[in-house]
Structure 1
Amino acid sequence: MGNACIRARLDRAVCSQSWIDTYPETLVKHFTDQGSDHRALLLADKPYVRTSRPLFRFDARWADNPEVRAMVNYVWQEDVQGTPMSRLWERLKRLRHLLYDWSRAGTTNSLRNIKTLQAEIDRVKLIHPVDWDMVRTLEAELSRQWEAEEVFWQQKSRVKWLKKGDQNSAYFHTVTRARRKKNFVAGLRNEEGEWVTEETGKASIATNFYQNLFTSETQVLNMIERVATLPIDNRVTPQMNAQLTVEVLAGEVRSTVFSMGSKQAPGSDGFTGKFFKAFWDIVGISVVEAVVSFFNSSRMLRIFNHTWLTLIPKVDSVETIRQLRPISLCQFVYKVITKIMAERLASMLPQIVSEGQNGFIRDRQIIDNILIGHELMHYLKIKRQGKKGYMALKVDMEKAYDRVEWPFLLAVLEKMGFSSVWRGWIHECLRSSSFSVLMNGSPSGYFTASRGLRQGDPFSPLLFVLCTEGFAALLRKAITEKKLEGVKVAPSAPRISHLFFADDSYLFLRGSLQECENLLVVLNEYEELSGQRVNLEKSAVCFSKNVSIPDQEFLATILGVGAVGVHDKYLGLPTLFARSKTATFRFFEEKLLERLQGWKQRTLSWAAKETLIKTIALALPLHVMSCFRLPLVLCRLLDKYVARFWWGAEEGIPKIRWVSWRNMCRSKHEGGMGFRRFEQFNQALLAKIGWRILNEPQSLIAHIYKGKYFPRGSFLTATARSRPFWGWQSILHGRQLLEKGLRWQVGNGQSVPLLQSNWIPKCQLDPPVYNPCILPEGGGSVVADVISEGGGRWDEEKLSQWFDPSTCKAIKAIPLPRWDVPDKLIWHFTAEGVFSVKSAYHLAVELDRRRGGWRSSVSWMDKPSWIRVWEAKIPPKLKVFLWQILNRALPTMEALIEKKVQVLPRCPVCWDAPETMEHLFLYCPVARALWDYSGLEYLGEGLPRHTFPLFLKRLLGLIHQPSVVMAVVAILWRIWRSRNWVVFEGKQFEIPALMR
């Protein structure tokens, strides 16, 4: 160690959830270590005091408020003059003032109303005799206010995956606090390196930076002539232009509005999509007129194109403005216009954009870039011989969207063949934009732009993709002129010079000084024309093994970049794979744990946990599992983490798992929760790649794999060959499942082997029974041998000789075409014959079940019964509660003793008998009193003891009576909650209070 300076984080500030709730804006500041070997900590409970007027935001709670509807009606009935756009803006402005003043009165403050109602309920209860009708009325209003509070915090939290209605206000509240704290910018360093903490100073730094960033620097005067020399194909046909510029009608505007998000952050006008959808019957005509007027006149009212730049930290502790990511908050009406344009263009991009770009293009996928990129990197890794060495350059463009020069983009569009009308609409959307910067929620500054695309505008990703066509053209030009070569992974594979996914770029070339210099010329020309600039710090290079180390270092110096590191990533995945695949994919284990172990998740209900697992946890590693096979040990570890999250843990020790994870991963109609096991889900996703290779042989990824792994054969007969890449091995693993689900759709029968079972629908997983002694010799029989001459019908005599009666019957049910049609491979497990990941997953589960022979934990429940449970008209949390009852997954004393937990067996409510499920819900005096008080038929009447399943069958028989089922399940829920109050909180209760 010697005199080396060793730095480690030793001092930390730790707080509880209650502290955060009390001091939500608390920040910890680190002082310098001058004069000490520690950096002193300062805990600031109010680091920022807002002095500006709160911004107007349309509150989602107002959508159902009759007073708000009356105000909207009033404003829209007023006479307003001007163009359609100016009339709409004036009405929105008037309504904004009315709503702002009305909201300041506090009548919509649901939290305040909740406290008032709770106090009133307590007051009424003190009056003897208690007016229970009044209490019920107050509690009904209290329930509405709680729902409004949940809506409010859900809107604030920006949580999209979790729906309201299941009492998750605490979670929404916690997420909102955490998001605010994470996005808060405590200070910034100015150009002189000084630390600025004043809000005006920070806002000035941000405004100046982005004003300079969005100001054009191009010196190219003959842009159109320069772009005209590039080999960009004129692929936009007159028919395409006609479709792009066809008249915009009211139906298209309305469908666009209702396809957009309701609760996304609004622009400077403050109105969300929720407002326009809730009051469409009033405001719809004005919106349609304003949108249509833009397309008719090619003129945008500038105020509608004013954008707020909100700054999202890229790192935990922000110090410089470059560590903030600008997201544009465009106004909803403007986004309707660009969304219409984006939807029209999106359908044509596959025919317009060259093959090397896969970002934001329909029917092109990110996994293609990942697999092709890693296949090329694997080729470099194993290439040790030959005179020609190769290299891969991972290029990162600095502020890619923000630096796009408009003249270059418009020139590229013209070269591609877009009409002047379409280009005019795009130019007007760009030209009329203006900006203010949101610093910690307060807008400041005003400036216009002369370059750049806004991240947050629905149209920007597509425009950027078109911009990269200029870069691709420059590379193609260099290849045509023999200045760049590209890389081929096999002699019969296509040569690859570049892979683009939006602003992520991979370039492939020879590892020589000449090609490096030629590439620099291309990059410099692209920068001069488009405004793009290579970020050398984030770019990296990798060489094949036959390029010497001195040459690698020299060429990397010429390019000004470093070598690809072990931790470098491409499209979210490691660029280089370690020998241990478990170590390679370990980062996803960490990501999943981070998502599941967050303290915010402790506030979720059971139903919300289910949603989190299905929409977030299982989707988190989706694009990894879509490309590569995860090691079995890692899959099981991920399963364990998700199961632990579901059942919970206390101080790191997992709680009891009342239902096995294997059973929980069954479909809901089979008694499970519909979760997915990572191993089977991974294989189903990989099978999809195989399906695409079979059905899209002209795609780039199919050409790559055919050229390397089966140049003279087919995908279904391909082998791993020597030193295959892990991606190909993963695809072969998926192929094993794919083959189980592929079935021949019989045409002329010439291509289908007779002795295979995958042409008889009823024998897909079970082989047919045939007579091997009578079948033709040689083993080369095909299905055509059992089709009558002339086609169109089966040869029943041969069928009866060669197959058993049941198989013959199944074969005769297969329809035959009347004309000569080739046989075709289809997917057996969907009605359309098209592969789906869902059906493939269920197939993988079925195959696993056949191997393991596992059964449901609730043998007396059939599929119709489970369907009735999940389709019952009750809240989601009560459905999960009912599922727990049916699976005996509630921790009663009897159940705890069965799990070897040392507890007293007696019922904690009455102490009269052991606490079994039957006793708790049917025979406990408190339960009987609740049933009697409810006025419902006692479903346990006449049932012998220990027959709780019979009671549940009676309950399920009432599913067609929603009100009865709701009341019965609510009583069961009340019994369970009251029992827990006694056990965990020592509370006592009264029967009338429980029934409320």
Structure 2
Amino acid sequence: MIGEARERSSNKNQKNKTIVRKNQKISKMEEGIREVILDYFSNIFSSVEPSDRDLEWVLRTVQPRVTEEMNQRLIQPYSHDEKYWHIVGADVVRCVLDFLNYRNFHPRLNHTFIVLIPKCTTPESVAQFRPISLCNIVYKLASKAIANRVKHFLDSIISPSQSAFVPNRLITDNVLVAFEIHHFLKHKKWGKVGLASLKLDMSKAYDRIEWKFLERVLDSEATKEAFRCIKEILSKYEKASGQFINLQKSSVNFSGNTDPTLQLELAQSLGVAVTSNHAKYLGLPACIGRSKKEIFQDLRDRICKKIFGGAAQMKRKSTGYLGPNSVKASKVEGRYFARGSIFEARLGFNPSSTWRSIWRTIPLVKAGCRWRVGDGSNIQIWRDQWLPRSYSFRPIQMQNCSLWNAKVETLIDNDLHCWKEDLIDRTFVPDDASLIKALPLARHGVQDVLVWHYAKNGLFSVRSAYYVQRNFQKRSNNVSDPSSSSESRTTWNFLWNCKVPNKIKIFIWRLCNNALPIAPNLIRRGVEMDPSCPFCQSHTEDLEHIFLNCTFARQVWALSEIPCCSVFNWLGLAQNWIRFLYDNLDEGQFRLGIALMWKLWYERNKLVMENQSPNSLNVVVGAKSTTIAYQEANSEQSSLSRPNVNPCWMPPALGSLKVNFDAAIFKTQVGAGLSAVIRNEQGQCLRWETKFVKHVTDPLHAEALAARMAIDMASDFPGRTIEVEGDCLVIISDINKRDCNHSYFGPIIKDICILLDHYTNVTVKFSRRSANKVAHALARRAVEVNGSNFAPDTLNIILQRDMEPNE
């Protein structure tokens, strides 16, 4: 593996000194190569000057998607209270804000350096390079600020058929749709009407765009015969947008019942080739046959090349969500479970490979899904999974219990928007009753939704499902996790927080999981090699021998001067030995010990791969220098570190009001304290309120309730501009993103968003705890204070302190 990595590294460093022109002539001189590149990209970046007629023909199909409300939020003035502005300096902030608010931007700040990135291993022509622009940092700050505003509306603006680069959508949705289409075409052998799929490749899609077309789009307020129509559409689209179809990479695929002569005629009319199946779509095979291993071998090889020394199994993947309204979900639903839920779907007749894969995971997804209560109209009390706990999502049935066929809405008082506590206490066991009474309820009509219990945002992720599946397997096999005991967790936590390079931590993790490529492990996988220890050649190589019993290893430990090295014992497993080191060495000795093991392994690999004889003293010196250098590098104080200044409360703008809110959890009383206080520009308290809510023990739930109470208070001052501030960044972010997600406290966020839609003069901002002292103090006293009954003198003292600068 080391040899492969060295070879790959040397390949990357090779320079290409020739390039092929359009006329197939080869340019070798530097001047000639420069000329070819300039000509090529000058052509791409030049306008083809589309006519107004072509533009109108294309733009008449573009429908307005940005609503007036979205537009008002997008054009709000930008403020300077952004993260780390004290680091970048007032001049940079002023420059960016001048551009964002007044469109004053120096032309030189828009200049970029274009860098060519090869798209293949040995590029020969300019077309095989991908240009990227290295922008000025000030330009990037301004564009990022605009992008942060626009991204909240992308889901509403961009068509559902576009799955890439939009939150909560995955580009793989389109891959799965393509799989289903090709599976259908492949198996359609009968019928009079043939079908076809057309794959189009845009030539330099991201680089070739007409600004005239783009500006008109942004400012816009407004079958067989299809083959000729398709070509006309594509032709006019090319003229209007400046983008071109790469016919050499495009192809058309027909169903089996299409006449071959007709296939050829239609393909010639489009100018593309006929193919039995589109080989790849978005980097994945478009059609899966019987040999899945052969189909995905290329993908597997590419992944293995990226991961040097890694296992073939990928243990972590990106978060993904296949929503019920996604393109893929609608296609799969119509094909396989049109009349029911996916949880009751059957494999069906002639299923595609993708549906087989999805269908096999349904039991796992079902086991991790539960209902989040909205209005309770869709949830059966005893049959459905809806309680948020780890072992069972269904309530425990009591003997002689009632409400057999009732729904959860029976337990909700719709007039007061709260739970019927007396009915719940009579119907459920105490633990279940406490869980139910703690569930958040919305004031407005929020529907019940299925959520993934094992993610905080309620959305399914491959990563969380992987761990759920592992836990299910361990329970069924009665296997305990070697790192699940309290002692092991302590050791692992200490290791991951240990002040050594990450490569040493990962090495120790691989050692404890027997994942190092020692001779026995490689021989077991079919690799022919000498099983002897590379150091002494007198003993079979194993972990205990390499790191403890080998003559060379003993020399290293003796030179290290680590105490009690003479009584080291492997104790059966590597993790037991790591535990032994943890129990018997101080922190510095433990760091040196694991660094010595890493260095021993490093010298072993140098001996095997490069035939370099090891030296025990060099091992000890190298391990010590590695740990010392890491400590010194991490102990240096950065000159850009954040100043140790805690901001105090700042009054709102003249004529405006500010509401601060906070929440506190009381474990003994099993509830939460909420508070909100509203002040004017002089810091005078106009109104304040505290409230104790029973059963609420989740901090984010409590903060969301406090935010809703603060916005209710703001609504009592109509016509005034009001700033609402809180010190919970999660809640503030969800409110500003209008992210009514599937989280536990999602119904409260939905209520807040509805309130804000009615009060356009209310803004919500984040503040630090040091600038939120009054609300914090009131929340901490919510148990002893009823409503707004609070000693005036005490309140005035807290108000005064809130405006004093913090040390």
- Taking structure 2 as the reference length, the TM-score comes to 0.62
Question: Offset of 1:203 from its aligned partner?
Answer: 0.8
Q: Is contact 2:557-2:565 (8 Å) kept?
A: no
Match of 1:404 among 203, 209, 216: 209
Establish whether residue 395 from structure 1 lines up as the match of residue 200 from structure 2.
Answer: yes
Establish whether residue 844 from structure 1 lines up as the match of residue 479 from structure 2.
Answer: no
Pick closer, same or farther for the CA change 1:178–1:226 going to 2, 3 Å: same
Between 327-336 and 820-829, report the one with greater CA deviation.
820-829
Match of 2:33 among 176, 197, 202: 202
Partner secondary structure for residue 112 of structure 2: strand
Question: Offset of 1:570 from its aligned partner?
Answer: 1.3
Q: Which residue of 1 aligns with 2:61?
A: 231
1:361 partner letter: V
Partner secondary structure for residue 392 of structure 1: strand
Alignment of 1:777-816 (within 5 A): 791-793=420-422, 808=429, 810-816=431-437
Q: Is contact 1:882-1:969 (8 Å) kept?
A: yes
Establish whether residue 732 from structure 1 lines up as the match of residue 359 from structure 2.
Answer: yes
Q: Which residue of 1 aligns with 2:111?
A: 306
Q: Which residue of 2 aligns with 1:499?
A: none
Question: Offset of 1:312 from its aligned partner?
Answer: 3.1
Q: Deviations over 1:787-842 (max 9, x none)?
A: 7999535677876xxxxxxxx56544432479999865433334554433322111
Match of 1:709 among 316, 330, 336: 336
Alignment of 1:202-601 (within 5 A): 202-221=33-52, 230-252=60-82, 281=87, 284-416=89-221, 510=223, 512=224, 514-566=225-277, 568-596=279-307, 601=308
Question: Offset of 1:847 from its aligned partner?
Answer: 1.8
Following the alignment from structure 1 to structure 2, what is the Cα–Cα distance between the partners of residues 978 and 377? 52
Q: Is contact 1:753-1:782 (8 Å) kept?
A: yes
Q: Deviations over 1:909-957 (max 9, x none)?
A: 99xxx986896499997467446x46xx547679999999887545324
Pick closer, same or farther for the CA change 1:175–1:296 going to 2, 3 Å: farther
Q: Deviations over 1:30-58 (max 9, x none)?
A: xxxxxxxxxxxxxxxxxxxxxxxxxxxxx
Following the alignment from structure 1 to structure 2, what is the Cα–Cα distance between the partners of residues 362 and 767? 32
Pick closer, same or farther for the CA change 1:244–1:395 going to 2, 3 Å: same
Following the alignment from structure 1 to structure 2, what is the Cα–Cα distance between the partners of residues 830 and 306? 43
Following the alignment from structure 2 to structure 1, what is the Cα–Cα distance between the partners of residues 350 and 114? 50
Q: Deviations over 1:67-109 (max 9, x none)?
A: xxxxxxxxxxxxxxxxxxxxxxxxxxxxxxxxxxxxxxxxxxx
Following the alignment from structure 1 to structure 2, what is the Cα–Cα distance between the partners of residues 196 and 325? 19
Alignment of 1:53-64 (within 5 A): none
Pick closer, same or farther for the CA change 1:756–1:938 going to 2, 3 Å: same
Question: Offset of 1:196 from its aligned partner?
Answer: 1.8
1:699 partner letter: S
Question: Offset of 1:521 from its aligned partner?
Answer: 1.9
Question: Offset of 1:522 from its aligned partner?
Answer: 1.4
2:492 partner letter: W
Q: Which residue of 1 aligns with 2:684?
A: none
Q: Which residue of 1 aligns with 2:728?
A: none
Q: Is contact 1:893-1:916 (8 Å) kept?
A: no
Aligned identity (percent) is 28
Q: Which residue of 2 aligns with 1:874?
A: 500
Q: Is contact 2:536-2:551 (8 Å) kept?
A: no
Partner secondary structure for residue 309 of structure 1: strand
Q: Is contact 1:223-1:529 (8 Å) kept?
A: yes
Partner secondary structure for residue 541 of structure 1: strand
Question: Offset of 1:525 from its aligned partner?
Answer: 1.6
Question: Offset of 1:750 from its aligned partner?
Answer: 7.3
Question: Offset of 1:768 from its aligned partner?
Answer: 9.3
Between 949-958 and 876-885, report the one with greater CA deviation.
949-958
Pick closer, same or farther for the CA change 1:749–1:922 going to 2, 3 Å: farther
Pick closer, same or farther for the CA change 1:742–1:200 going to 2, 3 Å: same
Pick closer, same or farther for the CA change 1:926–1:176 going to 2, 3 Å: closer
Pick closer, same or farther for the CA change 1:785–1:824 going to 2, 3 Å: closer
Partner secondary structure for residue 201 of structure 1: helix
Query: Number of matched residues?
Result: 604
Q: Is contact 1:955-1:965 (8 Å) kept?
A: yes
Partner secondary structure for residue 874 of structure 1: coil
Q: Deviations over 1:230-286 (max 9, x none)?
A: 03222223433333333334444857xxxxxxxxxxxxxxxxxxxxxxxx84x6333
Question: Offset of 1:366 from its aligned partner?
Answer: 0.8
Partner secondary structure for residue 826 of structure 1: strand
Following the alignment from structure 2 to structure 1, what is the Cα–Cα distance between the partners of residues 174 and 515? 45
Q: Which residue of 1 aligns with 2:650?
A: none
Following the alignment from structure 1 to structure 2, what is the Cα–Cα distance between the partners of residues 949 and 536? 59
Following the alignment from structure 1 to structure 2, what is the Cα–Cα distance between the partners of residues 236 and 896? 59
Question: Offset of 1:216 from its aligned partner?
Answer: 1.6
Q: Deviations over 1:946-972 (max 9, x none)?
A: 99988754532478x643433444466
Partner secondary structure for residue 248 of structure 1: coil
Q: Is contact 1:391-1:544 (8 Å) kept?
A: yes
Q: Is contact 1:574-1:584 (8 Å) kept?
A: yes
Pick closer, same or farther for the CA change 1:591–1:729 going to 2, 3 Å: same
Q: Is contact 2:248-2:272 (8 Å) kept?
A: yes
Partner secondary structure for residue 310 of structure 1: strand
Question: Offset of 1:992 from its aligned partner?
Answer: 12
2:591 partner letter: M
Q: Which residue of 2 aligns with 1:630?
A: none
Q: Is contact 2:544-2:570 (8 Å) kept?
A: no
Pick closer, same or farther for the CA change 1:953–1:556 going to 2, 3 Å: closer
CA-based RMSD of the aligned residues comes to: 5.0
Pick closer, same or farther for the CA change 1:197–1:290 going to 2, 3 Å: same
Q: Deviations over 1:836-882 (max 9, x none)?
A: 33221111111222344445568986333322222222222333454
1:310 partner letter: V
1:524 partner letter: S
Following the alignment from structure 1 to structure 2, what is the Cα–Cα distance between the partners of residues 386 and 888? 58
Pick closer, same or farther for the CA change 1:864–1:765 going to 2, 3 Å: farther
Pick closer, same or farther for the CA change 1:921–1:878 going to 2, 3 Å: farther
Question: Offset of 1:572 from its aligned partner?
Answer: 1.2
Following the alignment from structure 2 to structure 1, what is the Cα–Cα distance between the partners of residues 21 and 290? 45
Q: Is contact 2:214-2:241 (8 Å) kept?
A: yes
Pick closer, same or farther for the CA change 1:757–1:519 going to 2, 3 Å: closer
Q: Deviations over 1:646-687 (max 9, x none)?
A: xxxxxxxxxxxxxxxxxxxxxxxxxxxxx72xxxx79x98xx
Following the alignment from structure 1 to structure 2, what is the Cα–Cα distance between the partners of residues 407 and 944? 72
Q: Is contact 2:368-2:452 (8 Å) kept?
A: yes
Following the alignment from structure 1 to structure 2, what is the Cα–Cα distance between the partners of residues 188 and 346? 40
Following the alignment from structure 2 to structure 1, what is the Cα–Cα distance between the partners of residues 518 and 194? 69
Question: Offset of 1:712 from its aligned partner?
Answer: 2.5
1:195 partner letter: I
Question: Offset of 1:591 from its aligned partner?
Answer: 2.0
Pick closer, same or farther for the CA change 1:756–1:763 going to 2, 3 Å: farther
Partner secondary structure for residue 236 of structure 2: helix
Q: Is contact 2:488-2:579 (8 Å) kept?
A: no
1:188 partner letter: I
Q: Where in structure 1 are there 5+ consecutive unaligned residues? A: 1-15, 21-170, 256-279, 418-509, 602-608, 618-637, 640-674, 800-807
Q: Is contact 1:921-1:972 (8 Å) kept?
A: no
Following the alignment from structure 2 to structure 1, what is the Cα–Cα distance between the partners of residues 255 and 425? 62
